[in-house]
Chains A and B, each alone.
Chain A
């Protein structure tokens, strides 16, 4: 019993440590500057709120529409190309939101090739014809939906794969129509997974700055940056960010509510699977079309455009690209391992002792996912620089050489930032993996005299290898794409591919940013493909059949 107690305390300490930057940001709320808030309230706050809400609603609807039907089709139905689609639909995950935004703007705005061609072909000039204005709220919703739907797809598909077609058949035999059966049986059973994916996509949306800023949409997040850069007021920016947390708490409550009392252990570890629902004729064509849309818009078009720019128009790559790629890759790998290890410890502590302090601490540790990276970075700089000052004082007292900024000036700060920012992603995957393991296994392990850590190592980790791998790979891709925190916290002479792409793009050299951008996509593809392999390997019986 003592051991389990120790684990609980350890988990709370870790969670508190990870929550520290968020707590520091929230603590700015007590130092509010009345005059500035009055100004924001009188002028722009309303627009920020309305736009942020519309963005959330739009992206929410978008990722559900793109993610759930595709997950259903690839896991429950058989149609031409199903196996191929099942992994290809993950590809947009590798494309950073700000890069897809730059790419589509270059392609579709008035000066881009598409509209120029329309004008040349028809002889019309700007304003004589209607064309979708890509730089708009609608444009931003489309871009974010296209790259964020894989979160929903991934989680929903995993959930659907665990259901058996037979439950649908049972529903049908009881007089449900097939659609009714899907609606009232399959979807509710997959709901926790779908909501988990949705809340990840929405938190990512809240934290997005690059896309909305480039498309000229004023949201809460662009407001934070305006306050920071325009007013030069980091404190007020932090206060705005702290109020952003209100949205996050709302999202977390939503997720909680949707799970309520339900427990979702799978009934049997390996279950014979009924045949997939065969789709033929027009239905098969429809299924292919539904899967093609997100794939073409979210990956094929932007990746092709980037590749064309990179190959034919951009300045050629220098050798330093190898260094950039290595920096990005190693950082992402390291961050993924650390983050997932912590997520396992926290989730497991929660499982062994689901008491309030642990639950609260873990929930708070996940908040970082919805805060913009820049704000997280400030919340990290403050405590690390403080610790560095103490360390330097200690070294001086011992008459040792000054160590310099050992924490805030090194990769430690970056790794800390990634952990804070992406722990929620890892937690989501690991927790859902743990939930599927029946508690009776824990009791069995306990009765054999194993302590909790041994049970974790010997029973849980092997059983949820798939969930762990999923967590590692998603965090890896997320870190690879991460920009704002990297920009602020990186040490001297250290650049990543995302930083390089950003610097060129923000210098308004979109085409020259393409080689770095396409490299991010390519390196990001590796884990996405591994992710697919791992999901398939978990269900060999599926593989054999198709």
Chain B
């Protein structure tokens, strides 16, 4: 067995380490972040921020709802200053839960369009994520496609792949559609689409893209950055897959709601109500909306910047320009529950 004194030393050092973890959060020039954005997709920016300002950034990543629950339970004692999510619906949920506080940043109000931030300054969008239709070039022509709603038509029987309705991206697509065409029409649309599925939903967006490329189905709905990642991949198999796919921007033409524009969502951040470092948090948020940070998002994770005038990559440009659904993003949060119920009823797993 392991010698007893080794164990003793080990326990002591581990206890010391755990205490250390608590104390570093206490020092003055810090900002504490709860982020639903994955570490790989935010840490480089935070490191850059620390390097330029000397402010240390402490980070916990996790799932948005779990972090939100943590914020709620911690209440006034929370160490978090900034709450970052990858979906406007969750930011709205946080606002409703009373864990955020409004802070107006005039500089950002000027640069970020009103549609991409909370009207009461509870949160700001940081990147834009479009969710268009993606199709197999050899089996579908663009003129067969028109709107999200048209995917419920009979001609798509057995030709659609969809990710699970567990995905927040699909939930917010449905939430936006409820706002556009009402819950009954949305219910019919989902039922039609589910009937047209080539296979039961499983895997993530990338898996749907692979399925379309491999011929399991002909169309899917996916966030563009997943496709962009495959296009830019250094692996020949990924490139070959991506070369079979193309983006179709739905709901661009037509009168009224049919021409409302493609669905999009934002990743964004809000200030926590009981944050202890508001000044540093403001600086960090302003940094995340700055031109270099926005360009980083566009080039590393292929997300669209929220501020105008930032150079985007050739891959993103290649997807073409499109009209966005001008929905008030907090509706995504308000309709989320109803969206999940409709999906449950339609049997969208």
Contacts and interface: CB of A to CB of B under 8 A. Distances in A.
26 contacts: A40-B344, A105-B203, A109-B210, A110-B216, A126-B216, A213-B164, A213-B166, A214-B203, A222-B166, A229-B63, A229-B166, A229-B168, A231-B337, A330-B13, A330-B17, A334-B14, A381-B73, A382-B73, A389-B76, A405-B22, A406-B22, A410-B19, A492-B32, A493-B21, A503-B40, A508-B207
Contact of B340 (A133, A230, A493, A495): A230
Interface of B: 1, 7, 10-11, 13-14, 17-19, 21-22, 24-26, 32, 38-41, 58-67, 69-70, 73-79, 93, 164-166, 168, 171, 199-207, 210-211, 213-216, 226, 235, 241, 336-337, 340-341, 344-345, 349
A229 B65 contact: yes
Contacts of B39: 495, 500, 503
Given A404-B26, A491-B60, A508-B226, A411 B341 contact: no
B60 A490 contact: yes
Nearest to A415: B18
A508 B204 contact: yes
A492 B337 contact: no
Contacts of B22: 403-406, 409-410, 491
Nearest to A327: B17
Given A229-B65, A491-B18, A503-B38, 17 more contacts: A42-B345, A110-B210, A111-B207, A126-B215, A230-B336, A333-B14, A337-B11, A381-B69, A381-B70, A389-B77, A488-B63, A488-B67, A491-B22, A493-B24, A504-B40, A506-B204, A508-B204
B155 to A, nearest CB: 18
Given A111-B214, A230-B340, A503-B38, A492 B205 contact: no
A412 interface: yes
Contacts of A125: 215
Contacts of A103: none
Interface string A114-126: 0110000000011
Contacts of A406: 22
Interface string A323-346: 000000011011001000000000
Contacts of B32: 492
A500 B38 CA distance: 9
A216 interface: yes
B63 A216 contact: no
9 A-B pairs with least C-beta separation: A216-B202, A411-B18, A111-B210, A492-B58, A230-B340, A508-B206, A135-B202, A43-B344, A126-B215
Interface in A212-241: 213-216, 218, 222, 225-226, 228-234
B1 to A, nearest CB: 7
Which of A105, A331, A492 gathers the greatest number of chain B CB atoms within 10 Å? A492
A453 B7 CA distance: 21
B62 A487 contact: yes
Nearest to A507: B38
A44 B344 contact: yes
B93 A232 contact: yes
Which of A313, A385, A506 gathers the greatest number of chain B CB atoms within 10 Å? A385
A281 to B, nearest CB: 42
A330 B14 contact: yes
Contact of A488 (B66, B168, B235): B66
Contact of A215 (B7, B14, B202): B202
Contacts of A133: 199
Contacts of A488: 62-63, 66-67, 69-70
A43 B345 contact: yes
A425 B62 CA distance: 27
A205 interface: no
A216 B77 contact: no
Which of A377, A408, A409 gathers the greatest number of chain B CB atoms within 10 Å? A409
Given A408-B74, A488-B62, A503-B40, A226 B340 contact: yes
Interface string A388-430: 1100100000000001111011111000000000000000000
A492 B38 contact: no
B21 A491 contact: yes
Given A43-B344, A410-B22, A493-B21, A405 B79 contact: yes
Interface in A131-146: 133, 135-136
A487 B66 contact: yes
A507 B223 CA distance: 12
Nearest to B26: A404
A407 to B, nearest CB: 10
A377 B62 CA distance: 13
Contacts of A215: 202
A405 B24 contact: no
Contact of B200 (A216, A385, A487): A216
A175 B39 CA distance: 67
B231 to A, nearest CB: 14
B11 A334 contact: yes
Interface in A468-492: 469, 487-488, 490-492
B89 to A, nearest CB: 9
Contacts of B14: 330-331, 333-334, 411
Contacts of A231: 336-337, 340
B237 to A, nearest CB: 8
A208 B67 CA distance: 21
